[in-house]
Amino acid sequence: MYKFGPAHTARLLSAEREKALSPKRLLEEAGLKNGDTFIDVGCGPGFFTLPAAAIVGETGRVFAVDTQQEMLDQLRARKPPKNVILLKSGESSVPVDASSADLVLIAFMLHEAERKNVFLREMKRITKAGGTVLIIDWKKKREEHGPPVEERLTAKAVEELLRGAGFRGIKASSLNASHYRISARKG
């Protein structure tokens, strides 16, 4: 299974990626606002974490979660604000209380989860009632960048996984030529 390693994080923070994804806009469109609790699952060096910290402000909290300590170390080196809490997680376990997050982000890593059903049930556990899970991932097509096409998930497959985990209000849309986004609510 393909796992994005810390040796390539410069790509995650590139100006090209910023332009293609506009993390602040994406998070605001997903409903993130001042005072919210946000969990960035698979945070890497903080591409979404730091814009989220600015949006939620001093009264909000951001949990930056990753399975790779090197990724958390790279985020720490970027000196995140005090409202960001860095946490090392297991493959399908996030060390936060149940019903903690207004918004949980799973960006470009659902395809990496070995047990996707177990992983999504954990995402449901950490999301508040009425809260949102936002998934951003690669379209299932051959491209020069990104994971092998065999490991990519179609948006339809992700929608079915979310339904199976008990999420409601599932909405999918194309983000750009390479990526889609899917939001779902915890009922």
Other Cβ atoms less than 10 A from the Cβ of 133: the count is 26
Residue 150 has pLDDT above 70, yes or no: yes
Question: CATH number for the domain including 108?
Answer: 3.40.50.150
Per-residue pLDDT reduced to its tens digit, 156-186: 999 999 999 999 999 999 999 999 999 999 9
Beta strands in 79-126 (DSSP E): 84-88, 101-107
**Which of 84, 96, 86, 103 lies closest to 32, judged by CA?**
103
Inside any domain, residue 102? yes
pTM (2 decimals)? 0.94
Helix (H, G, I), strand (E, B) or coil at 82: coil
Inside any domain, residue 60? yes
pLDDT of residue 140: 96
Residue 3 has pLDDT above 90, yes or no: no
Helix (H, G, I), strand (E, B) or coil at 55: helix
The token pair that represents 112 in the structure block: 């990496």
Per-residue pLDDT reduced to its tens digit, 65-111: 999 999 999 999 999 999 999 999 998 999 999 999 999 999 999 99
Residue 42 has pLDDT above 70, yes or no: yes
Inside any domain, residue 103? yes
Inside any domain, residue 162? yes
Inside any domain, residue 10? yes
Total structural domains within the chain = 1
pLDDT of residue 12: 72
| Range(s) of the domain holding residue 77 | 6-186
Inside any domain, residue 1? no
Question: Which residues lie below 8 Å from residue 89, measured CB to CB, with a gap of 6+?
Answer: 41, 65, 66, 67, 95
- Angle subtended at Cα 51 by Cα 45 and Cα 183, rounded to the nearest 5 degrees: 95
